[in-house]
Amino acid sequence: MKICTFNVNSIKTRKDLVIEWLKHRNNDIDIICFQEIKTEDKNFPSEDFKKLGFVYQEILGQKAYNGVATLSKIPMEKVFFGLNHDYFDNQKRVLVTKVLDIFIINTYAPHGDLRGREKYYYKLDWYKHFISFLKQNFDFENQKVILLGDLNIAFEDKDVYDPVLLKDSIGTMPEERELLRELLNLGFIDTFRYLYPDKIQYTWWDYIGGAIWKNEGMRIDYILITKPLIPFLKDVEVDLWPRRRRTPKPSDHAPVIATFENLL
């Protein structure tokens, strides 16, 4: 089973690119989790993806901002839309589904802002509530759980291209990293770091200045799993093919794909 997380930065803008990319990969992905779809549910291009076999779809959209969608070739059921919190659920950021006996938490964390600004505090408060929500609803020691998406935090200095230049900036602030550590300590394993402890690999590059060609990026997209899934984990890759396209215009993120064996 292959599961993918991909911040598409508008599914309507990126639809043709995503379909071209899936065909380039011989349509080998079983479950794909999109973030930042930036469209309402009714405008999501469901039929285009059904033609590729993604007949099971759960969409939590929002006009022009945010939004997540989980598409699967394997039967899937909805578990949670949002975090069961009126204030935080105004922004559509978390979609929980279940495939087989695996909970899939598709997540688009807030970007935040410079320290002291409104969006800075919102990001920290959102993470605190998200961690509380996870504690209340999952048994991380015994359940198979995959939490994946754009978490908008680079966990370590090796997850950014220039730790000195980017020190204490959005996504690298100590208080942000501490919240991500708290989330991981619930019982999650960062699959990429588990398999590749020292590898330098980014998942996001600014559009400005040809950052993708200079590899001036950050690793802010993750696939996290609980311990019961470790025996099934085979590989994790960041596919640069769709990020290096000139046309159709790419997202500023690259997809991350985890491969599991003997789950089906």
- Statement: residue 16 has pLDDT above 90: yes
Q: Domain coordinates of the chain in residue numbers? A: 2-260
Average of pLDDT values for 127-156? 98
The alpha carbon of 123 is separated from its chain's Cα centroid by a whole number of angstroms, namely 16
Q: How many angstroms separate the CA atoms of 45 and 5, rounded?
A: 18
Residue pair 8/35 in contact (Cβ under 8 Å)? The answer is: yes
When pLDDT is cut at 50, 70 and 90, the band that residue 264 belongs to is confident
Helix (H) or strand (E) holding 161: none
- The percentage of the chain sitting over the pLDDT mark of 90, rounded to a whole number, equals 99
249: CB partners within 8 A, 6+ apart: 13, 17
Average of pLDDT values for 68-88? 96
Closest listed residue to residue 2, CA positions, set 72, 58, 106, 98:
72
Q: Over the stretch 225-255, which tens digit does the pLDDT of each residue have?
A: 999 999 999 999 999 999 999 999 999 999 9
Candidates 3.10.50.40, 3.10.180.10, 3.60.10.10, 3.40.50.300; correct CATH number of 2-260?
A: 3.60.10.10
Q: What is the DSSP-derived secondary structure letter of residue 242?
A: T
Q: Over the stretch 89-141, which tens digit does the pLDDT of each residue have?
A: 999 999 999 999 999 999 999 999 999 999 999 999 999 999 999 999 999 99
